[in-house]
Structure 1
Amino acid sequence: MSHTHTHTPTHADADADRQPAVIELRQYTLRPGRREELIELFDREFIETQEETGMVVLGQFRDLDDPDRFVWLRGFQDMTVRHHALAAFYDGPVWAEHGPRANATMTDSDDVLLLRPLTAGSGFTVRPSHRPRPGAPAPAPEEFISATVWSFPPGEPEGITLIRNGLLPLLHETGPAPLAALTTETAHNTFARLPVRTAENVAAVFTSYPDEHAHQRHLAEIQAHPRTREILTGIEREQTAAPRTLRLAPTHRSLIP
């Protein structure tokens, strides 16, 4: 059920787990050499100020395969809250002051998937109070996030069902449980100023590893599992393109992992 009011976070919310029901996966193509500039600006100016409007900034990442790509996630309680929160932020003073500088680092910001948890409880659970404060010493970057996205024909549920009933149990058996398993949110994008990819039918699985070697070990365990071939063959029959895996390194202030 959608709520029709805008939720204003309180101090108690800061210490509570947040489990957003609507998630944006945003991938930005940047002008050469400007990713660190955007990360510094984003982590300083755009986290708490977005969350004050009722959304939660889930994670910010460097794409390890493209030095000019910045990936991030934000979540919302529902589509109504999303509309109000986005309007409040993008019509507000922080974006008016810092938005032009952020936009100047980008060549494209329209690669956006609108997602929701694939099953009850399969979304991200985060606690914003655990985020490092601005200016806190950055630990050595160790964490590695794998985000794999499968694409299926619009309106066809078979591929998503195979991910849910076949692949996810296999991932749980062979390695760390995924941080989240998501699928396309089919509700109409009511904030047209920020486009999202339409006519999509995807599943997206996010997993955290101590480092990339741990990820490779998990992939090897999956390949060796006796059910893997059957499961992957079924998924391949349904997919419209090969799955894409994003290899991501969280920024210092990312809530994920």
Structure 2
Amino acid sequence: MPVPGIVELRRYTAHPGRRDELVELFEREFVDSQAEVGMPILGTFRQPSQPDAFIWVRSFPDLASRAPSLTAFYSGPVWAEHRTAANATMADFHDVHLLCPVRGQFPPPRDEPGVVRISVHHFAGPADEHADHSPDPLVLATHPGPNEFPALPVREGEHVLVTISLDPAIPPTPDAWARLAVREPEHLLLEPTATSRLR
């Protein structure tokens, strides 16, 4: 899978009991329609440990193309038709990291889907130079922005390294990362949905 220039890690919370409704609507209406305006969806996931969590990964060729693509989608006919139904399923959609790849490649999909692990490591300042310490195949870091589409907020003033692996085993945190971290890493063990390219 080609490495894009910009990646969004989006962590949504559905209203209790409505996650599958959101997943079904998203896969039916929003995957192809976002790709058509230059925003391929790389992964869509349920988090078994969190019954209301829906996590997805969206990509852009570069930062300059992000705002025009978002404008095209969110002012377009598909979102206009289905936004009320989508928004009704969501309790929160503001947990978003704007990222850029700093090392490695997205792992190719498996023949049979399995657990995908996304790990989020939090630092006091940029830690891009430590990316090589990770054993995972892909490392992404906080992109400094700016967020030129303020209608969709992203987490600002934070520094994270995000790793993605198709190996669900949780590796030890690299020593260099442990020294710099400001809190314990988050390890998200995720179940790909039917249309997920990361699987």
3-state SS in 2 of match to 1:151: strand
3-state SS in 2 of match to 1:33: coil
Contact kept, 8 Å, 1:116 with 1:123, in 2: the verdict is no
User: Structure 2 length normalisation: TM-score?
Assistant: 0.92
**Aligned counterpart in structure 2 of residue 197 of structure 1, from 137, 155, 176:** 155
Match of 2:48 in 1: 64
3-state SS in 1 of match to 2:51: coil
Contact kept, 8 Å, 1:18 with 1:125, in 2: the verdict is no
Contact kept, 8 Å, 1:115 with 1:182, in 2: the verdict is yes
Match of 2:106 in 1: 124
Pair 1:46 & 2:30 matched: yes
Q: Tell me which structure has the larger Cα radius of gyration.
A: 1
Contact kept, 8 Å, 2:5 with 2:59, in 1: the verdict is yes
Superposed displacement of residue 100, structure 1: 1.0
Match of 1:148 in 2: 119
CA distance in 2, matches of 1:24, 1:56: 11
Contact kept, 8 Å, 2:107 with 2:198, in 1: the verdict is no
CA distance in 2, matches of 1:78, 1:100: 29
Contact kept, 8 Å, 1:21 with 1:123, in 2: the verdict is no
3-state SS in 1 of match to 2:80: helix
Match of 1:136 in 2: none
CA distance in 1, matches of 2:40, 2:2: 8
CA distance in 1, matches of 2:123, 2:105: 20
**Aligned counterpart in structure 2 of residue 188 of structure 1, from 135, 146, 150:** 146
Match of 1:241 in 2: 183
Contact kept, 8 Å, 1:33 with 1:68, in 2: the verdict is yes
Contact kept, 8 Å, 1:24 with 1:73, in 2: the verdict is yes
**Matched positions, count:** 198
Cα deviations across residues 179-210 of structure 1 (Å, max 9, x unaligned)?
x210011120000100000011110111013x
User: Structure 1 length normalisation: TM-score?
Assistant: 0.72
Contact kept, 8 Å, 2:6 with 2:62, in 1: the verdict is yes
**Unpaired runs of 5+ in structure 2?**
none
Superposed displacement of residue 236, structure 1: 1.9
**Unpaired runs of 5+ in structure 1?**
1-16, 131-138, 172-176, 210-214
CA distance in 2, matches of 1:142, 1:85: 29
Indicate the structure with greater strand content: 2
